[in-house]
Structure 1
Amino acid sequence: MQTPHNYVPVLFASLLQPIVDLFDHMEKKEPKGPNEVQASKHENGYAASIAVLTVIVIESVCNRARHVYGLVDRNGAVQTLRELQAGGLADDVEELFVLRDVIAHNHIWEAIAEDDTTGLTLVSATKHPSYGDAKFNRTVDLEIRQTRRLHLDIFPARIHRQTAIVVLQKCVEVLRFLENSDTRLVGSTDPHIIWKSRPVAFYQWVDEL
């Protein structure tokens, strides 16, 4: 007779390969980065998708950490990292969640753009007042439409390849921090993914982007 055992499902490890696959698809489109107004639809769409899934990875692994430590409240990833003395990393992650909200809720802006010899330029942009919350107001510089610490573009159409890379780098920083704090929190050391038909450590893959 088999012995029953505890099973606690968490998603973060299952999301790593889909994130890598999305990045591969984005690279095949040869992203060029944004002008003042927007990135290409392919770059914007893939980068936004990568960013959202990567933030879900962070939330998932932080939820695992709370479970391992027997914490029963529903404090999110940012508060979890603060409780674990992550310092400025928690503030950086808060900006990732602001970006997640910008994408997931499709913050609406009204903008005026014009064409010049270098492409589209932005004349003005105003966010609809019904979008954003306290953390948005705390972390975003509306004048330049970026977060204050990581300089993430929060004008939705300008989310681009480098935005995705910064989010991935911060995700790996979170995973390494948790792993170094307590090996039980991540559950496996530097999980592997498939990149260009060969296995690569996920942390290494992100480090080399």
Structure 2
Amino acid sequence: MNSEIVTIIGSSYFEAISTLLEKLDKHEKRSSSGFQVGYYESGFAASICILAVVALESYVMRSRYINKANGPDLNRLAVPEYLKGVYPDFPLHEETKEIFVVRDLLAHNHLWEIQLGLEEGVGMKEKNAIRKSSGA
């Protein structure tokens, strides 16, 4: 009897993600203005986001391979569009697009310039946020 196994690296990320979540949860939280958290929280949260999206990409690549997706119809589509094409009733299409925007911001160092103002009784409040490309 012959059998075929299609493995992906993405399945091995879940233990690392769980470990990062546990460490983040155990870390003493500092009070925050709502716009900024500490160095520790930022690094762990960004790492968790990136690993989770890369894990999803890995599973989608496995799906493309198993389903023999090829040609411009499915193989070249971005993950959110691929999922929508394969699963037309997929209810989280917009959310999936958003997680890839966040991944791109984190992984490709897109910069945000945020202008804050101090408002009495409220604390820091956003006045304006502008996305700037890193040039990469």
- Checking the alignment, whether the CA contact within 8 Å between 2:117 and 2:127 is kept in structure 1 is no
AA partner of residue 77 (structure 2): N
Structure 2 CA distance for partners of 1:42 and 1:53, relative to 1, 3 Å = same
Structure 2 CA distance for partners of 1:90 and 1:116, relative to 1, 3 Å = closer
Matched residue, 1:46: 44
- Checking the alignment, whether the CA contact within 8 Å between 1:36 and 1:120 is kept in structure 2 is no
- Checking the alignment, whether the CA contact within 8 Å between 1:37 and 1:120 is kept in structure 2 is no
Matched residue, 2:129: 126
Matched residue, 2:22: 24
- Checking the alignment, whether the CA contact within 8 Å between 1:113 and 1:120 is kept in structure 2 is no
Structure 2 CA distance for partners of 1:96 and 1:70, relative to 1, 3 Å = same
Matched residue, 1:139: none
Once residues 27 and 9 of structure 1 are traced to their aligned partners in structure 2, the CA distance between those partners, rounded to angstroms, is 31
Shift of 1:107: 2.0
1:24-83 Cα deviation digits (max 9, x unpaired):
110111335742321122112111110111011111111111111111223232122101
Matched residue, 1:59: 57
Structure 2 CA distance for partners of 1:128 and 1:90, relative to 1, 3 Å = closer
- Checking the alignment, whether the CA contact within 8 Å between 2:119 and 2:125 is kept in structure 1 is no
Q: Identify the match of residue 76 of structure 1 among 75, 78, 84.
A: 78
AA partner of residue 79 (structure 2): A
Tell me, which stretches of 5 or more residues in structure 1 are unaligned?
132-209
Aligned alpha-carbon RMSD (Å): 2.8
Secondary structure of 2:28's match? coil
Matched residue, 1:200: none
Q: What TM-score do the two structures reach when normalised by structure 2? A: 0.77
Q: Which has the larger radius of gyration?
A: 2
Shift of 1:116: 6.5
Q: What TM-score do the two structures reach when normalised by structure 1? A: 0.53
- Checking the alignment, whether the CA contact within 8 Å between 2:33 and 2:124 is kept in structure 1 is yes
Instruction: Map 1:91-106; keep pairs closer than 5 Å.
Output: 91-106=94-109
Identity of aligned residues (%): 26
